Copies of this chain bind each other. A is one copy, B any other.
């Protein structure tokens, strides 16, 4: 069995309170401090965080529930969050719910039993029912990437509407008029917003939008492949495609390869996320890049703040951060602008 504080007390002849005080930054006489440190070394003592957690009712652990770990957007965010949280003494329990509402609910319950101090969640259930029970404990929840109406917690989001609008404007400025979109599942807020930006750009530019240019897929690689095939088949006069997440971008590129379509000669493309993948494409892909590191920092920062200040002190004042995306230029857009 591992050594306990009792063992140290026995060995040093000190009381338990003194040892505890030593570990919690209290005042301990220099002489005793040395004695304690010697005992720690000899006994290979290590604080038992489980016991501490039971006593203090705080596990210094945060749960993270995401749709897919095996997804570079999620993975990038988690890497960064975990780093920050661990540097502040918090462990991270990651639960991958495989984009399944039931598994998501189970994950939150699981984390509740584990008594995590807070949960960071990229939600699959767009109603947020899975969070209700956990929220009753008064512990903080931070939503990332996707918003949920009427759930009392903080959110860190991306300005998806603007992201889509910017991408479309880029196409329009280059002279494109028939631009297709491979969008995501309409239940997911990010997909809605990206569709919205897409439509708004058409409106602002004053071009008519043919509904056959709109394709709804499911944010997967396979969805991207299919979306591209459908769009190309339905719209022989389409000159450009906007793909609205990374997996589908990869799928669209696979589709282009398999159909032997030349980019940008035959079709111009703007993809989403993962700069390195964009660089590896030939020609280099122009993409909308989301600020994953920034999302992670903001989310971890808010979580740490809530953890330290408590969630219900005075006015709750839940915040919603909205971060901006950036377009990284490649060579996948053909300029067919007459003036230029």
Residue positions of A touching B, CB distance < 8 A: 1-2, 44, 46-51, 53-54, 57, 59, 61, 68-72, 75-76, 78-79, 82-83, 86, 91-96, 98, 107, 109-115, 133, 136-137, 221, 250, 253-254, 257, 276-277, 279-284
Copy number in the complex reads: 2
Residues in B whose Cβ lies below 8 Å from that of A50:
50, 53-54, 59, 114-115
The 9 closest A-B pairs by CB, nearest first: A70-B79, A253-B280, A69-B79, A257-B282, A254-B279, A50-B53, A49-B113, A50-B115, A254-B280
A45 CB → nearest B CB, Å: 10
Q: Given B110, B257, B282, which contacts A279 in the complex, CB threshold below 8 Å?
A: B257
| Residues A133 and B44 in contact in the complex (CB < 8 Å), given A50-B53, A114-B49 | yes
Judging by beta carbons under 8 Å apart, are A115 and B284 in contact?
no
Judging by beta carbons under 8 Å apart, are B86 and A110 in contact?
yes
Residues in B whose Cβ lies below 8 Å from that of A281:
257, 280
Judging by beta carbons under 8 Å apart, are B72 and A70 in contact?
yes
| Residues A82 and B54 in contact in the complex (CB < 8 Å), given A280-B254, A282-B257 | no
**Residue from A50, A75, A93, A257 having most chain B Cβ neighbours under 10 A:** A50
Judging by beta carbons under 8 Å apart, are A83 and B54 in contact?
no
- In the bound complex, what is the Cα–Cα distance between A257 and B115 (angstroms)? 50
Residues in B whose Cβ lies below 8 Å from that of A221:
276
Residues in B whose Cβ lies below 8 Å from that of A59:
50
18 interchain pairs, CB-CB under 8 A: A44-B136, A49-B113, A49-B114, A49-B115, A50-B114, A69-B82, A75-B75, A79-B96, A82-B95, A86-B95, A91-B114, A92-B94, A221-B276, A250-B280, A254-B276, A254-B280, A257-B279, A277-B280
A86 CB → nearest B CB, Å: 7
Q: Given B2, B54, B57, B110, which contacts A137 in the complex, CB threshold below 8 Å?
A: B2
- In the bound complex, what is the Cα–Cα distance between A110 and B85 (angstroms)? 12
- In the bound complex, what is the Cα–Cα distance between A294 and B65 (angstroms)? 24
Given contacts A48-B54, A91-B93, 18 further A-B contacts (CB under 8 A): A44-B133, A46-B113, A51-B54, A61-B114, A69-B69, A69-B79, A72-B72, A78-B94, A79-B96, A91-B111, A91-B114, A93-B93, A221-B276, A250-B277, A254-B279, A257-B280, A257-B282, A280-B281
